[in-house]
Structure 1
């Protein structure tokens, strides 16, 4: 693949006039950071070290744990019999480095699962 050389603003933008916002300014450092992990790391409960795992393993594990947690904690009706269809067993924290589209899709997924504990790092 290619290598990121620089990040610049759009000089034709009527909003920014070519200047980068703080997120745009920081994105270069995020991608070229020598300490950035580029593969999946897993630390088992009570373990003192990280293990490298395949991406497929991580995706399947996340899917399994989300499904199991949602099934175990999903509430269809409250004590008054009112339909609520939610789970308090899963929470989501959107990242400040996510773009608008990524945060939108993450929110849609969480709402579809019935997750009500949603927050975004950019707001905290």
Structure 2
């Protein structure tokens, strides 16, 4: 391929730049705004063989998303225009969901590091959930205070706390609060959205 000279590159730049085309009378909303790349480009969603729906994972607004996939692999994420919440729009974080899903650094398995260990080991989700339940019950049983010294009924533990994430909506936070305070006796129940 021959090397382009500076005058050739300048001519190409002026041909692609919209201002000279607008000055020549082209419509700034149509042909003057269109570059060669835009004329020949195709939407990335055109290659999808399936479209699924999802909810943005970043906050409690609950913006609906369309996940376009080819061969069961995501190729694009867009806002869902049928959603009354976001009406097809996404904030910058929501628009970056594709990077979250396809990042090679994304964890897609459960890792556990035992106390005093230096290495992580892969475990099953069932094992991890059983372990969390066992340690929660053990800690609650060991630290549960039924009555204060003066006889006041307490029924609480101050050894366990909960910090919820900003993706939890009001209804989920309500249920978490009821379960953790009434069911387990937790005193410290907070949400990351308030921190």
Q: Shorter-chain TM-score: what band?
A: 0.7 to 0.9
**What is the distance in 1 between the residues matched to 2:187 and 2:92?**
29
Structure 2 counterpart of 1:89: 159
Alignment match, 1:117: 188
TM-score, length of structure 1 as denominator length = 0.78
- Indicate conservation of the 8 Å contact 1:7/1:28, yes or no: no
What aligned pairs does 1:1-124 form with structure 2 within 5 A after superposition? Answer: 3-4=73-74, 5-8=76-79, 10=81, 13=84, 18-20=88-90, 24-25=94-95, 27-96=97-166, 98-100=167-169, 101-111=171-181, 112-124=183-195
Gaps of 5+ in 1: none
CA distance in 1, matches of 2:142, 2:83: 52
Q: For residues 64-121 of structure 1, give each alpha carbon's deviation from its aligned partner in whole angstroms, at most 9, with x where no partner exists.
A: 101111111111111221111111010101012x331443333232122111111111
For the aligned residue pairs, the C-alpha RMSD in angstroms reads: 2.7
Query: Which is bigger in relative contact order (C-alpha 8 A, separation at least 6)?
Result: 1
Count of aligned residue pairs for this structure pair: 122
Q: Hey, what's the Cα distance between the residues in 2 that align with 1:29 and 1:105?
A: 31
Q: Which structure would you say has the larger Rg?
A: 2
Cα pair distance change 1:30/1:87, threshold 3 Å: farther
Q: Please identify runs of 4+ aligned residues in structure 1 that moved more than 6 A.
A: none
